Amino acid sequence: MPGSTAPLTRRRAARRRAGLAALAVAAGLAAACSSDDGSEHHPSTTVAPESGAPVIAIEDFTYKTPPSVRAGEEVVVRNGAGPEHSVTSDTEGLFDTHVDGNESATFTAPTTPGAYTFHCVYHPEMYSILIVE
Ligand SMILES: [Cu+2]
């Protein structure tokens, strides 16, 4: 499920949300980064409670993963400048989101609490862990 181009209005909203999330989640990052975020949404979810959506930021071949996310929560993956990366669960099929440079996408966190390791299919040295509460 590669990220798709979202309508402009949605992209603006996504950028605002991403900025807020970045402030909350990754205070050390330059939240005002001018990257153009795109956001993919499930068609059936027209109004998602995303104001505090957790963000997995990818910078310099490194994941900046939030301390934890809620079960079944929508998680934003934001790729900074650079090549395409993926957030792919080590357990096949749980989640597998591919994001181009300067783009964002979302996936739904597993509905069962636990610790889920994930990696980038393009760069084997990239890996992290998603804590689901
Ligand atoms: Cu990668």
Q: How far is the CA of 104 from the centre of ligand 1 (A)?
A: 14
Cα torsion through 54, 99, 109, 49, rounded to 10:
50
Q: How far is the CA of 94 from the centre of ligand 1 (A)?
A: 18
Q: How far is the CA of 126 from the centre of ligand 1 (A)?
A: 6
Tens digit of pLDDT at every position of the chain (133 positions): 444 444 444 544 444 444 444 444 444 344 444 444 444 444 443 444 446 899 999 999 999 999 999 999 999 999 999 999 999 999 999 999 999 999 999 999 999 999 999 999 999 999 999 999 9
The neighbourhood of ligand 1, an ion, using CB within 5 A, equals 85, 120, 122-123, 126
**Which domains, from first to last, does the chain contain?**
8-41+53-132 (2.60.40.420)
